[in-house]
């Protein structure tokens, strides 16, 4: 409901109303909200209750990418050092799902690519064998927040139509077919390096991939900064 904007960013979440709508008791709703709170998608405010988290700002997205530049190249390096047959099969399977995603059209392609992106990077984080690293990456929920922001732009829920158009352009630039194919090619290079056990190349390829991803955001992001400064 949060991702599909049945519950809007910043909106108050009424536990009783939600339980009735979902036809369940309040207990599982409270448990779900607590889980979502730990995921950063729900905020609990003293004396006010729960509300949906706000969308990330462009600056916060930029900070997320910089965080990823610190931990993901290391994760790829460690994954290459530890790779086994199970890991190789998992990487091959995920790359196959990417080939399917790129053939989908419209918004469904965005969703499929987002899901592939999240699975691919989470898989490598877990393959690093470093539990703290993997959990830290999962807590950023980078890909889920990207998808939320994309959907928000599509539905014009970001304040001001000009902002919505710019954010829409930003995410289509990142997730359109051409960029998607670039991202998948980079994923294949990372997977090949990890599979072969070449930890130096794996680390370098992951660093270049995240930098490349960030650069695909910059043209529209810079324009969005200007709009925010003038508003």
* pLDDT tens, position by position, 74-100: 999 999 999 999 999 999 999 999 889
Selected residue with higher pLDDT from 63 and 145: 63
- pTM given for the model: 0.75
Range(s) within the chain of domains with CATH label 1.20.120.530: 58-230
Selected residue with higher pLDDT from 142 and 83: 83
The tens digit of pLDDT for each residue in 3-49 reads: 767 888 889 999 999 999 999 999 999 999 998 888 778 999 988 89
205: closest CA among 102, 35, 76, 16? Answer: 76
**Homologous superfamily of domain range 58-230:** GntR ligand-binding domain-like (1.20.120.530)
C-alpha span between 104 and 112 (Å, rounded): 8
Mean pLDDT confidence for 185-212: 96
Range(s) within the chain of domains with CATH label 1.10.10.10: 12-52
Residue 118 has a pLDDT of 85
Mean pLDDT confidence for 186-205: 97
Residue 69 DSSP code: H
Residue 124 has a pLDDT of 97
Fold of 12-52: Arc Repressor Mutant, subunit A (1.10.10)
8 A C-beta contact, residue 111 and residue 62? no
Q: How many other CB atoms are there within 10 angstroms of residue 62's CB atom?
A: 16
169: closest CA among 224, 220, 108? Answer: 220
**Averaged pLDDT of the chain:** 82
8 A C-beta contact, residue 202 and residue 189? no
C-alpha span between 221 and 170 (Å, rounded): 7
pLDDT at 218 over 80: no
Angle (CA) 69-52-11 rounded to 5° is 140
For tokens 């050092």, what's the residue? 81
């Amino acid at each position: 409901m949060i991702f599909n904007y049945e519950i809007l960013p910043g909106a108050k979440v009424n536990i009783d109303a939600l339980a009735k709508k979902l036809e369940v008791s309040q207990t599982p709703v409270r448990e779900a909200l607590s889980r979502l709170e730990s995921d950063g998608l729900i905020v609990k405010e003293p004396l006010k209750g729960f509300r949906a988290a706000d969308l990330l700002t462009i600056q916060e997205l930029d900070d997320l990418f910089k965080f990823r530049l610190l931990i993901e190249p290391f994760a790829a390096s460690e994954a290459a050092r530890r790779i086994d047959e199970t890991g190789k099969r998992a990487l091959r399977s995920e790359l196959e799902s990417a080939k399917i995603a790129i053939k989908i059209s419209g918004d469904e392609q965005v969703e499929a690519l987002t899901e592939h992106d999240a699975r691919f990077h989470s898989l490598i984080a877990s393959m690093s064998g470093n539990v703290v690293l993997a959990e830290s990456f999962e807590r950023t929920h980078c890909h889920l927040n990207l998808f939320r922001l994309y959907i928000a732009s599509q539905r014009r829920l970001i304040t001001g139509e000009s902002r919505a158009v710019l954010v829409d352009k930003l995410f289509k630039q990142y997730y359109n077919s051409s960029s998607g194919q670039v991202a998948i090619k980079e994923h294949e290079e990372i997977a090949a390096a990890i599979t072969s056990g070449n930890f130096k190349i794996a680390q370098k390829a992951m660093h270049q991939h995240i930098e490349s991803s960030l650069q695909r955001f910059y043209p529209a992001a810079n324009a969005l900064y200007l709009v925010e400064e003038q508003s």
